[in-house]
Amino acid sequence: MTEAMRAVVYRGPRTATSLEMIARPEPGPGEVLLRVAAVGVCGTDVHVWQHGMGDAPPVVLGHEFAGVVAAVGAGVSGFRPGDRVVSETAAAVCGRCVYCLGGHYNVCPQRRGFGFQANGAMAEYVCSRPAILHHVPPGLPLALAALTEPGCVAYNAIVEKSHPRPGDHVVVIGPGPIGLMALAVARLGSPARLTLVGLRRDGVRLELGRAMGADDVIIADEDDAVARVVQAGDGFGAHLVIDAVGVSATLQQSLAMVRPNGQITKIGWGPAPVGFSLDALIRKAATLQGSFSHTYGTWERVVALLASSRIHVRPLVSPFALDAWAAGFHAMEALEVAKAVLLPHGPAFAEI
């Protein structure tokens, strides 16, 4: 008889999503069952909870998670019960397309993400697969390892998709969890100046940004962010602008802030069309780069950065019990916290 477990099940926006008792998954061949220690509430989770995700079937939310191996299915090697691990977000990929075979499985057209097309980790247990699991080094608490995913989004955008040099002026627009991680990763590249742009209502997160090493924090609804950025340094603007906001107004700002031959890397999503000219991009011969998700090597590096405390994520984490998941979502929605992290088996198991 299958056992039951608690899980945050999405059936539609707001009150259509709730904590339910569902069957605990069993690891099939090639699968690894994790006892979930910590699962982050992503901006995307909050967006889905606010606005829905089309006619998606019921699904357990949660794609930023760490846990302990509870059982392994037939044919699994490299992981055994008791191992502390963090999981990537692609529950399934095709394994056969040019992207999968080239190691860029994050853009596989058949990619099925945890918490969207496959049951995620806002539950007591979740099934993952060995190809996307990473061992968590001793000394890195599982509650902090759960922030590897946003760290990888930031690392992919800044290190893989952009090429900042020591001495550059780097601007991060948007002090959400991804923007704050981007700030932390950008700082490792020794910029001469690191600027964070947000709004007055982002107060708590802007303060965290200052603590994480922003040299300048600009409140864009009180100050002229473009003028502040362009006037800093040699007067030509930023070498690299990381746009971690999902509205087109910030892309327009990015175009005004970037220096000739500079780069804008866009991480923030937003379905609204852009209603302005891209001529500045052409005139400045600037690069506009999109960045999505991450791959295995990035995960190994970010886990190592967290374990070595080169990136300090503890100040970002606000823990919530799984039963209090809605409070975590509300706190994220109200911008009261940088990152709500749900602990399905309590703080001790999450090592926090």
User: Contact positions toward Zn ion, by CB under 5 A?
Assistant: 42, 44, 93-94, 97, 100, 108
- Residue 93 or residue 258: which is nearer to Zn ion going by CB? 93
| CB-based contact 124:322 (threshold 8 Å) | yes
* Minimum distance, C-beta of residue 1 to Zn ion, in the bound complex (Å): 34
Measured distance CA(328)–CA(104) in Å, rounded = 33
* Minimum distance, C-beta of residue 109 to Zn ion, in the bound complex (Å): 7
- Residue 88 or residue 351: which is nearer to Zn ion going by CB? 88
- Secondary structure (DSSP) of 51-63: H--TTPPPEE---
* Minimum distance, C-beta of residue 115 to Zn ion, in the bound complex (Å): 8
- Residue 44 or residue 291: which is nearer to Zn ion going by CB? 44
Measured distance CA(148)–CA(267) in Å, rounded = 16
- CA distances to 47, 53, 101, 162, 344 from 270, rounded to whole Å, are 11, 14, 30, 21, 31
* Minimum distance, C-beta of residue 177 to Zn ion, in the bound complex (Å): 8
Measured distance CA(210)–CA(212) in Å, rounded = 5
- Residue 44 or residue 295: which is nearer to Zn ion going by CB? 44
Query: Could you tell me which residues come within 8 angstroms of residue 283 by beta carbon, excluding any fewer than 6 positions away?
Result: none
| CB-based contact 302:157 (threshold 8 Å) | no
- Residue 276 or residue 292: which is nearer to Zn ion going by CB? 292
* Minimum distance, C-beta of residue 96 to Zn ion, in the bound complex (Å): 6
